[in-house]
Amino acid sequence: MSTLSSKEIESKKIGIIGLGYVGLPLAVEFGKKFETIGFDINAHRIKELEAGSDSTLETTPDELSEAVNLSYKSDIAALAACNIYIVTVPTPITSNNQPDLTPLEKASASISKILSRDDIVIYESTVYPGVTEEVCVPILEAGSGLKFNVDFFVGYSPERINPGDKTKRLPNITKVTSGSNPETLELVDSLYKSIITAGTHRAPTIRVAEASKLIENVQRDVNIALINELFHIFEKLDIDTKAVIDAASTKWNFMKLYPGLVGGHCISVDPYYLLHKAATVGYIPDLIRSAREINDTMPVFIAQQFVNELIKRKINPSAVKIVILGITFKENCPDLRNTKVFDLYNQIINLGMSCDIYDPLAPKEIVKHELGITTVDDVASLYDVAILAVGHDDIVTKVKAKEFTFSTGFVYDFKRILDS
């Protein structure tokens, strides 16, 4: 396989496997320049996109319409004419915090049935080092009857989508690229360069690229855990954590982070993939493991602090009516994946208190289906206290403008969002 020219690259037909927060923006950008097919097993998602709507809010109707070469399918056979397949399916964890590669394995098996000679399969899903070549490639070989790096080739380019971020979008985030041989790397890199204005970084191996994605989120998880641990200490010392951080951040090299709930599909999941892989080679990373424990138990600590605040203010916890403001895992985003607000809600309920949830961005039907909770449509003056869990702009504006009022006047703002 020789290096392809730009003209030859433009002749390629691309299939995107998975049209969620990662796959859809990718399909849209490629669909502006290449013949692209977006595949998803969710037929409702396909109908939604064909109607020009994106419930994840990662793309606008105008952006969808600009992708003139993009079509949507829920039948994998419709992608048989593609030359390049890009896999963007989720890589979750099990209830025991072990990697769950089932979606990735199923996607690989589906592609193997339509894989042809000289095709390239690029993986974007977050995995521990070795998964692409040790797990996915054997599935592709077995299902296709083709030989790896002779008949077909693979690449890995870790996704860096930041859900809900309207400034750091796919085209202006540097993309790490890798390939199973030098020629494949050349093509993969050229392909992404055609849509990524920020440029690319070529990793020397697929395993390096896989590892680079993991440590991006492991580093952030560890740093947030440190702030959350400081929050534990300063709460017990009756010191304002935000004020301490604001003071410390006047030093040029201080990393300014605030305490909070660490959820989502990346930071709260990826460290477990590295922990799993490290254990297979006989090493237990104590710092990474401890950081996960601190961040995972934050809902318990926040619930306890909330009750302490009620008692300090002489508010009867057993008689108070509470509303949690926000259920998604981060602000200004409808994404519910691994939201720790759900854990906070359960802690409050398990303490025997009355609690509802309000979130204008979280789709009611998805909250009901995924979490078993019916969110309320209005707050008005129906509640005694509130917990400001997610700082959606809409929520913060209404609280500050006193459109939302509470009989005790108390809003538990553990992130100190209202002070900013």
Residues with a known catalytic role? 266
Residues 6+ apart with CB under 8 A from 201: 174, 175, 176, 177
Residues 16 and 36: beta-carbon distance below 8 Å: yes
Of how many residues is the chain composed?
A: 420
CA angle 131, 133, 134 (to 5 degrees): 65
CA 198 to CA 184: how far, in whole Å?
21
Residues 6+ apart with CB under 8 A from 265: 21, 90, 92, 335, 337, 338
Residues 6+ apart with CB under 8 A from 310: 316, 317, 320, 385, 410
E strands of 104-245, at which residues? 120-123, 153-156, 175-177, 200-202
User: Could you tell me the sign of the dihedral formed by the alpha carbons of 387, 392, 393, 398, in that order?
Assistant: negative
Q: How many CB atoms lie within 10 A of CB 336?
A: 22
CA 305 to CA 291: how far, in whole Å?
20
CA 415 to CA 341: how far, in whole Å?
13
Burial group, residue 309, by CB count within 10 angstroms (0-12, 13-18, 19+): middle
Q: What is the largest CA-CA distance in the chain?
A: 75
Residues 156 and 125: beta-carbon distance below 8 Å: no
Three-state SS string across 180-229, please? CCHHHHHHHHHHHHCCCCCCEEECCCHHHHHHHHHHHHHHHHHHHHHHHH
Tokens of 148: 């790896």
CA 330 to CA 339: how far, in whole Å?
8
Tokens of 64: 């969808």
